[in-house]
Amino acid sequence: CALPISHVMAIAAEAGEGEAAQTLDTLLRRRFAQWFGGAGPRFVFDRANGTVLGYPEEFGSVAAMNDHHFHYGYWIMAAAQLALRDPSWAASAASGGMVGKLISDIATPERGRADFPFLRNFDAYAGHSWAGGDGIYFGHGNNQESSSEAVNAWAALVLWGELTNDRALRDLGVYLYLHETAAVLQYWLDVDGGLLDPKFDKPLASMVFGGKYAYSTWWTEEPRQIQGINLLPITPASTYLALPRAYVERFFTGLERSEEHTSELQSRETIS
C-alpha cells in the first residue's frame, strides 16, 4: 500500500532526513506510476458500471464493488503527501487526473452523471458510508466494519482539495468527515451509552449493518483486532477519538473482558 510509504516519507522530511525522504518519494512515485500506468497491478475504468476497479481484486472490490472508499482513501491520502511536496505532480494533466478518478469513484458530488454515481459510498440519510457493495448479507442489508478507514478517506479528500485549490472538494470532504465521525461515535462506539442494547455487553459495535450490529470481524474473533479495525489508521484525522475518560475506560475494560472470554473458549476447545 502507498500510505505507509507516504507517512514515513513525511516523518523523514520533518526529522530532517532529506536523503531518506527522497528515497521514499521516488519509491512512492514509482508505485503510483505502476498502478496508474495500466501494466501489472492497475486501476481500470469500467464504463458500463461507472466505477474504477483495482486489479488484482481484494475483498470483493471488483465482484461486489466492496470497500472502494477504504482502498482509494489510502491512495488519495498518499497522493496528497506527494502533492504537498510537488504540486506539479498533482496537476490534472499529470498524475492528479487519475487521482481525480479515484475521488470521483467514491465521492462524486453531482447527480445524473454518466460516468460515476452520486456519492457512491455515502448514505446521507444514515449519516455515514457503507462498505458492502451489494447489500446481500444474510438479510441484514448493507454493512460497514472499519469506520476508521472511511474517516481516513474523507480526510484525504479534505487534504487533496486544499492542496489542489479545489474548495468544493475540500468542503465536500469536510461534510463527509464531520457526518461520518458523528455517526461513528454513536452507532459504532456508542459514546453516550444509549444505543447499544444492555444485553449486548460489548464496548462497541465493530460491524454495523442496515438491520443489526455485531462484535466481530470478517476474518477473526480476536478482540484486539475487532476493536482495532475501528481505530486504524491512526492519523491527524483521528482526533475524533479523543473521547471522554469514562468511555476510554469502558473501551479497554471491554477489551480485557473480551480477551479473557476468548481465552476461556480457546482453553475449552483445547481440552475437548
Nearest Cα to Cα of residue 101 among 32, 40, 147, 150:
32
* Active-site residue (options: 145, 166, 180, 190): 145
What are the E-state strand segments in the chain? 42-46, 51-55, 122-123, 128-129, 143-144, 207-209, 213-214
- From the candidates 19, 57, 58, 67, give the one annotated as an active-site residue: 67
Residue with cell 470478517: 218
H or E segment to which residue 61 belongs = none
- Verify whether residue 264 is a known catalytic residue: no
The sign of the dihedral angle between the CA atoms of 229, 233, 238, 242 is positive
* 269 a catalytic residue: no
Please tell me which residue in 149, 166, 180, 190 is annotated as part of the active site.
Answer: 149
| Structure-derived torsion over alpha carbons of residues 107, 109, 115, 121, reported in degrees to the nearest 10 | 30
Active site residue 201: no
Cα 149 to Cα 69: distance, rounded to the nearest angstrom: 8
Active site residues: 67, 145, 149
